[in-house]
């Protein structure tokens, strides 16, 4: 904006009591939402007598819910500001923001949601205005999340002088329009909204007017060389984002075909998919569901650079552990989660679950770590268990017991399991996981009679819950398999040592 134009803008803001809101396809927009007004100022030399008559007629047209009403300007339809006369189009709305403001937002998902809503509304606007409707982002206001058009008659493109006065207008020209040719099958309004959608992903180049016109003529406004895109690197890797950018490239490309309303709906659906995929949790889950677990964890690592988040760390750890069988990677991610939010309990529970499955971890540790690392894992498990609230400690007591057993801390494990198997004076015989842990401690300590007694209690308990249907058959089977393995080792111990 030149000094003279900037001075004129300040004069207009003061005299209208409004704020500059951006450049429109025709004229410039100013907003005064507290007075329920938006204003469009068009240089008077751009508007013919016939066009002024059309504007007056719009003040009496029936109102539509998707168009902002054109109303009479009490201080006159033409006014001089600084050294220039303007035709004033006055609109009645209390909207405080435009699509131009939404495009300036840092959050790309918000930008895309706003543009998708405008694309959905476009067929209705075109029906109301007529063929040739073109809207720049500032021509569309947002009432909440609903886009409303600041309407003008379908006058086509403004004069070349006006187009060249604002680089944004040049960027939204069709390739044919930039070359001075008829639009052909291409809809200039859809093309302009396609450029608006691409601006969610890319910044407009800051080239000079002539260079930008060349880009527009070649359908290459966003082609290299250009400034950095507006997306984090991990977002550019997400398939729905790449797909919609290709669709938009075809819409605004050199050989764009006419799009019917169904094709417009398809494009908005693609924008919605891209918007949802910009949530890193959604993107990572999608890759996991597609069987791309390693890519999912890789994407999570990339997204964590841009958006460190507790839930994403938990999800990545879960995939690393359950899908890739990499418990050490999972524990590393969970440690980051603990550091990110020490007050939340999910990471502690997950740490215990992984470390409790000691045999699986031990395979990974063999030959790759020393005792100090195993001790650190045990310290991690103890700390995690200690940070859990009491009700969750009982739920994860089996995991902690497994950790103690895996470290050979048999006496401590025996006392620990005894504590958590009893609720006051009641033995919770139905906690077969802890009952078998209890038996393991006795077996490891050589108390074979006690181990045998535990085995008999578990067997009787499993028979009871099988008969009364109080436990899922799969869970009963799992405990039964563990009991069979325990009985086999108990039998072998008796065969070698005799009765205790």
DSSP state of 342: T
Give Cα separations from 183 to 38, 175, 178, 190, 417 (angstroms).
31, 8, 10, 12, 79
DSSP state of 323: T
Coil vs helix vs strand at 139: helix
Task: Please state the rounded mean pLDDT for residues 331-353.
Answer: 94
- Residue 296: closest CA among 276, 274, 275, 318: 318
Residue 193: both structure tokens together: 């909204």
Residue 466: both structure tokens together: 């099988």
Query: Quick check: 104 pLDDT over 70?
Result: yes
- Which residues have CB under 8 Å from 317's CB, separation 6+? 329, 330, 331, 333, 334, 337, 347, 350
| pLDDT recorded at residue 361 | 52
| pLDDT recorded at residue 360 | 43
- Residue 394: closest CA among 431, 358, 426: 431
Please tell me the pTM assigned to this model: 0.81
| pLDDT recorded at residue 432 | 95
Write the pLDDT tens digit of every residue in 370-387. 567 777 888 899 999 999
What residue ranges in 96-149 does DSSP mark as E strands?
Answer: 97-98, 140-143, 146-149
Label residues 212-231 b or e (16+ Cβ within 10 Å = b): bbebbbebbbbeeebeeeeb
> Can you tell me the distance from the alpha carbon of 428 to that of 421, in angstroms, rounded to the nearest whole number?
6
Query: Quick check: 500 pLDDT over 60?
Result: no
Task: Please state the rounded mean pLDDT for residues 234-239.
Answer: 92
- Residue 151: closest CA among 54, 271, 231, 68: 68
Termini Cα distance of the chain: 94
**Cis omega (within 30 of 0) for bond into 225:** yes
Strand order in the sheet with 146-149: 97-98, 140-143, 146-149
Cβ–Cβ < 8 Å for 144, 97: no
| pLDDT recorded at residue 182 | 85
Region at 442 (left for phi over 0; alpha for psi -120 to 50; beta for the rest) = alpha
> Can you tell me the distance from the alpha carbon of 332 to that of 374, in angstroms, rounded to the nearest whole number?
14
State the chain's mean pLDDT as an integer.
90
Residue 25: both structure tokens together: 């396809």
Q: 297 or 184: whose pLDDT is higher?
A: 297
DSSP state of 100: H
Residue 331: both structure tokens together: 């524990």
| Count of CA atoms in the C-beta half-sphere (13 A) of 404 | 23
Write the pLDDT tens digit of every residue in 51-96. 999 999 999 999 999 999 999 988 888 999 988 999 999 999 999 9
Quickly list H helices, 154-232: 160-165, 167-171, 175-178, 188-198, 209-217
Give Cα separations from 265 to 2, 108, 123, 259, 390 (angstroms).
40, 20, 10, 10, 52
Give Cα separations from 310 to 68, 159, 296, 381, 413 (angstroms).
43, 54, 16, 19, 31
| pLDDT recorded at residue 95 | 94
| pLDDT recorded at residue 183 | 77
Write the pLDDT tens digit of every residue in 397-425. 999 999 888 888 899 999 999 999 998 88
> Can you tell me the distance from the alpha carbon of 148 to that of 347, in angstroms, rounded to the nearest whole number?
46
Query: Quick check: 244 pLDDT over 80?
Result: yes
> Can you tell me the distance from the alpha carbon of 99 to that of 119, in angstroms, rounded to the nearest whole number?
12
């Amino acid at each position: 904006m030149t000094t003279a134009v900037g001075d004129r803008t300040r004069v207009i803001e003061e005299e209208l009591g409004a704020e500059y809101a951006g450049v429109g396809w025709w004229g410039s927009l100013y907003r005064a939402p507290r007075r329920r007004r938006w204003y469009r100022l068009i240089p008077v030399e751009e508007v013919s007598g016939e066009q002024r008559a059309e504007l007056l007629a719009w003040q009496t047209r029936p109102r539509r819910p998707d168009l902002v009403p054109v109303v009479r300007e009490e201080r006159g339809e033409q006014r001089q500001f600084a050294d220039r006369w303007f035709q004033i189009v006055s609109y009645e709305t209390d909207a405080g923001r435009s699509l131009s403001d939404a495009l300036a937002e840092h959050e790309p998902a918000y930008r895309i949601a706003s543009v998708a809503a405008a694309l959905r509304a476009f067929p209705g606007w075109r029906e109301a205005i007529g063929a040739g409707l073109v809207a720049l982002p500032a021509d569309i206001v947002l009432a909440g999340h609903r886009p409303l058009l600041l309407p003008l008659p379908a006058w086509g493109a403004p004069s070349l002088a006006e187009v060249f006065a604002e680089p944004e207008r040049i960027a939204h020209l069709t390739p044919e329009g930039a070359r001075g040719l008829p639009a052909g099958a291409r809809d200039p309004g859809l093309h302009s909204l396609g450029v608006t959608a691409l601006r969610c992903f890319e910044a407009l180049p800051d080239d000079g007017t002539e260079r930008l016109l060349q880009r527009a003529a070649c359908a290459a406004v966003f082609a290299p060389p250009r400034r950095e895109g507006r997306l984090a690197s991990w977002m550019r890797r997400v398939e729905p984002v790449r797909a919609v950018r290709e669709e938009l490239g075809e819409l605004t490309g050199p050989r764009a075909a006419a799009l019917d309303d169904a094709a417009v709906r398809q494009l908005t659906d693609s924008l919605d998919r891209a918007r949802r995929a910009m949530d890193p949790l959604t993107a990572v889950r999608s890759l996991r569901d597609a069987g791309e677990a390693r890519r999912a964890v890789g994407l999570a690592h990339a997204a964590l650079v841009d958006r460190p988040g507790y839930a994403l760390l938990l999800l990545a750890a879960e995939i690393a552990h359950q899908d890739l069988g990499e418990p050490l990677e999972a524990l590393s991610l969970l440690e980051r989660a603990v550091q990110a939010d020490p007050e939340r309990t999910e990471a502690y529970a997950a740490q215990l679950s992984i470390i409790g499955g000691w045999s699986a971890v031990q395979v990974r540790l063999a030959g790759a770590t020393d005792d100090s690392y195993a001790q650190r894992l045990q310290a991690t498990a103890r700390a995690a268990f200690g940070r859990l609230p009491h009700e969750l400690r009982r739920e994860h007591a089996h995991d902690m017991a497994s950790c103690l057993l895996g470290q050979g801390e048999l006496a401590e494990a025996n006392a620990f399991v005894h504590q958590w198997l009893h609720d006051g004076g009641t033995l919770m015989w139905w906690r077969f996981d802890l009952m078998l842990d209890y038996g393991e401690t006795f077996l490891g300590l050589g108390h074979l009679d006690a181990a045998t007694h535990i085995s008999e209690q578990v067997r009787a308990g499993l028979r009871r819950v099988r008969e009364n249907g109080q436990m899922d058959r799969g869970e009963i089977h799992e405990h039964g398999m563990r009991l069979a393995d325990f009985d086999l080792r108990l039998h072998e111990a008796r065969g070698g040592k005799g009765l205790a």
